[in-house]
Every structure is written in structure tokens, then in C-alpha cells.
Copies of this chain bind each other. A is one copy, B any other.
């Protein structure tokens, strides 16, 4: 069924290795032979077998990308530029979407069907990074990271959260709430830590009763804010672990009839495109999402090419984007 290099060789009147070399651009093949081979390949619609090539070269030019949940509006903004950059570098993307890292670990990543892995949603307690390291399968952290050392493309989450804390303090807020990501993620933990640290510096407290944590999802923000609105006295501002949580919070406020920003300030993190929709106009922390994804692709490919180079960590510095969901603290 499939046309092989041998078929091309027969038609072109050369040997199979010559076909391989001619098509791969080996300089030792004469222009004349190359022309003949290319013509024959064209005529037969020859496409080299990926499996054959992989087996021979021990490289698949494929990268595995792990993401928990594509329907979360955040991840596509990471995956899309990652995909494009990988293609640009001559690699293809294999997407693995699983709730937990562990499920994927052994079989699926280790059958030599991929040359490397991009981890976008690792948790700090995941055994996967260590396992990949042990197996010498190159990988890179994107967005989140964990204790096992590896190349990484991440945001300075603490700094970004600090910007928010100081802005809120400057607006006179003192009853501040937080809806953070999971404590077992670096993004969840660092954003909370940076926020607390900066608040403490300006003398504002963040009691546990005004703190909620959960997955970086719409439902987390919606449900958490609904709860927080019942706390008495009610918080006047809430910092959300990411934009998606913030959108959930905005929705809950709308539902509850609480006016944003007059009665409640809401601030997110990431600045995904939806944050700028008229319906939301979310004040948030912006960072170079696309650049970060592309950097991860480059780091990984570099690691595959030169496995023993020093580890590299690309850290993006975020900035505060002031839209319409923040306002001075209302008088009591």
C-alpha cells in the first residue's frame, strides 16, 4: 500500500540509500541524480515513513504537551503559541490532557514516541518530573514548575501579586480577600505568598476566613466569591489567583447584585484576551503569555539538542493593567 523509498529507487534507477540521501539533501549526491530521484518521488507521491525514520534515527521530532484541561480558557493561550513555535522548530505536538500527571507517566511518555515533554500544569507533589529525569527524557516547565530541577519558562508570580497588594493598599482597602489557586501548584502558592508578603509590608492583614483556594477555574471564583460575600463585614476587594477565577468572581458578584467596582474591587492575573472584553474590563496582572510559551519550546529543543548544557530559567516580569474592576475602598 504505502510507497517506500525502495519503490522510488526502482523507478529512478538508483539504490534505496541514494534515494534517502538525495531527498535529505546529502551534498555528495550529484545534481543529476537528485533531480531523477525527486522526479520519481514526485511521480509516486512518495512520503517517507515516519516510523521507519524514527526507528533509524532514534528521534521522532514529536513533543508531548501535558495540560489538565483544555476547556479552561487559560490553557489554549499557552498551547496555541507553543504549538506554532514547536512546528517552527520542526517538531510536532502531541497533546496529553489528563486530570493527573500520574496516569500518563509510564507507558505513554516513555515508549520513545516523543523526544521531550512540556509540563504546563505540574503540581508540586507530582512524581512525574523526577521520573522523567530518571529516565533521561528531556522536559521543560511552562507556567508552573516543581522541585525537580529543569529548564523553565515562568512568570515572577510573587512580584505580580505584590503589585496587586500595593495597588489595593493604595486604594485604601483593608478588608481584602483572596481566591487563590491550589496550594500544591507553584502558581497558586507563589501568588498567594507574594500577595501576603506585600500586604504585610504595608500593614494589611489577610485572615484565613477571607481566603479561599481551588482549581484555576471559573467555578472556583464563582463559588468562592458567593461564600465570601456572606462574610461579615464583607470584603471590599478580592485578588484572584488567575483571570478565569476572577471571571467567576465577577459573575458571582453580578448574580448577587454587588456592584463592581463601586462595592467590590476584583483583580485577576494573566490578562487573557477575555479579560479585556467589555462585559468584564478586568483589572489584572499582564505577562507575556505567548513569549513564555515560545521560550519553553525553544528551551526544550535546545535541551534535546545539547542535553548537558546548563539549566536555563526564563522569568517574565509582569505588570499591572488597570481596567475597570478596581476602585477606592468604599466608606464603611
| Additional pairs, 7, CB under 8 Å, beyond known A51-B60, A76-B76, A218-B277 | A47-B111, A51-B51, A51-B54, A52-B55, A71-B80, A92-B108, A251-B277
Copies in the complex: 2
**In the complex, which residues 23-52 of chain A have their Cβ closer than 8 Å to any Cβ of chain B?**
45, 47-52
**In the complex, which residues 76-105 of chain A have their Cβ closer than 8 Å to any Cβ of chain B?**
76-77, 79-80, 83-84, 92-95, 97
CA distance A77 to B72 in the complex (A): 10
A277: B residues at CB distance < 8 A: 218, 247, 251
30 contacts between A and B (CB under 8 A): A1-B136, A2-B112, A45-B135, A47-B110, A47-B112, A48-B111, A49-B55, A49-B111, A49-B112, A50-B112, A51-B54, A70-B79, A70-B83, A71-B77, A71-B273, A73-B73, A80-B97, A83-B95, A84-B97, A92-B94, A92-B108, A94-B95, A218-B277, A247-B277, A247-B279, A250-B279, A251-B277, A254-B278, A255-B278, A279-B280
Q: Are B279 and A50 in contact (CB under 8 A)?
A: no
A84's nearest neighbour on chain B, judged by CB, is: B97
**In the complex, which residues 262-306 of chain A have their Cβ closer than 8 Å to any Cβ of chain B?**
273, 277-280
* A113 interface hit (Cβ, 8 Å): yes
CA distance A8 to B110 in the complex (A): 16
CA distance A80 to B79 in the complex (A): 13
CB 8 Å contact bits of A54-76 with B (1 = contact, 0 = none) = 11001010000000011101001
* A15 interface hit (Cβ, 8 Å): no
Q: Are B95 and A95 in contact (CB under 8 A)?
A: yes
A1, A50, A54, A251 pick with most chain B CB within 10 angstroms: A50
* A107 interface hit (Cβ, 8 Å): yes
A280: B residues at CB distance < 8 A: 279
CA distance A50 to B107 in the complex (A): 10
- Assign chain A's interface to a size class: 35 or more
A55: B residues at CB distance < 8 A: 49, 51-52, 55
Q: Are B273 and A251 in contact (CB under 8 A)?
A: no
* A106 interface hit (Cβ, 8 Å): yes
CB 8 Å contact bits of A197-228 with B (1 = contact, 0 = none) = 00000000000000000000010000000000
Selected contact of A71 from candidates B45, B76, B135, B279, CB within 8 Å: B76
**In the complex, which residues 234-257 of chain A have their Cβ closer than 8 Å to any Cβ of chain B?**
247, 250-252, 254-255
A94: B residues at CB distance < 8 A: 92-95
**In the complex, which residues 101-138 of chain A have their Cβ closer than 8 Å to any Cβ of chain B?**
106-108, 110-113, 135-136
A95: B residues at CB distance < 8 A: 83, 93-95
Selected contact of A51 from candidates B1, B47, B112, CB within 8 Å: B112
Expressed in whole angstroms, the minimum distance between the Cβ of A48 and any Cβ of chain B is 6
A97: B residues at CB distance < 8 A: 80, 83-84
CA distance A112 to B278 in the complex (A): 46
CA distance A273 to B252 in the complex (A): 15
A107: B residues at CB distance < 8 A: 47
